[in-house]
Amino acid sequence: MKILAINGSPKKNGKISIIVKEIIKGSLEKNNECEILYLSDIKDISDCKGCMKCQKEEKCIIRDDIQIVEEAIRRNEVIIFATPTHWGNVSGIMLRTIERLFGFLIEEKPLGFPVAKAGKGKKAVLVTACSTSWPFNWIFNQSRACFGRLKEVCKYSGIKIIDDFTLTGTSKMDKIPQKYLIKAFMLGKKIK
């Protein structure tokens, strides 16, 4: 399988980055082809202007570095959406990216019904980390709301979610305990 991890953490050595690397390590053991795209490395993804021209023109008319993300999605079969939970949502850079992918991923029909485009038939794994501990991350809608955003994207884009991973209580962790690294590695091995 061809697997793409879109890393939406602003930190290259943060918790999300460590978990994503473990998932990828596991996937590589199964001879998958894997790549990690660090959104924080991409220089120029501007904000969505809300013009809706992407609905007429197939994709966003602003041709900046969003093309890097579009091309990576096109050439892979499984997309790992990885983002820290920020204010009960995806990170700012992840939000900006998924907004800019609107016309690439869906076409809204006249009554507003979305039709899946470039993501159709692909699979997804959702990954987040949050400082709130279990079960409060769920009860208080922290990581749950973050996944809610990503589920919305996947649902209308025709992308099937095959697994997810949440690292909770990160403010108490200097290092990620081994059991979570093993869990991430095993998840990676299972992707197919």
Contact footprint for ligand FMN (CB under 6 A): 9, 11, 14-17, 84-88, 129-132, 137, 142, 170
Neighbours of 188 (CB within 10 A): 28
**Least separation, in Å, of the C-beta of 161 and ligand FMN?**
20
Among all chains, which residue has been given the structure tokens 């943060």? 14
Residue nearer to ligand FMN on the CB measure, 106 or 150: 150
Min separation Cβ 175 and ligand FMN, Å? 12
CA separation for the pair 15, 77 (Å, rounded): 25
Of the pair 99, 108, the CB lying nearest ligand FMN is at 99
Q: How many CA atoms lie within 13 A of 142 on its CB side?
A: 21
Nearest to ligand FMN of 90, 105 (CB atom): 90
Closest-by-Cβ residue to ligand FMN is: 14
Shortest CB 14 distance to ligand FMN, Å: 2
| Closer of 79 and 105 to ligand FMN (Cβ) | 79
Q: How far is CA 16 from CA 11, 49, 85, 135, 158, in A?
A: 8, 29, 10, 19, 25
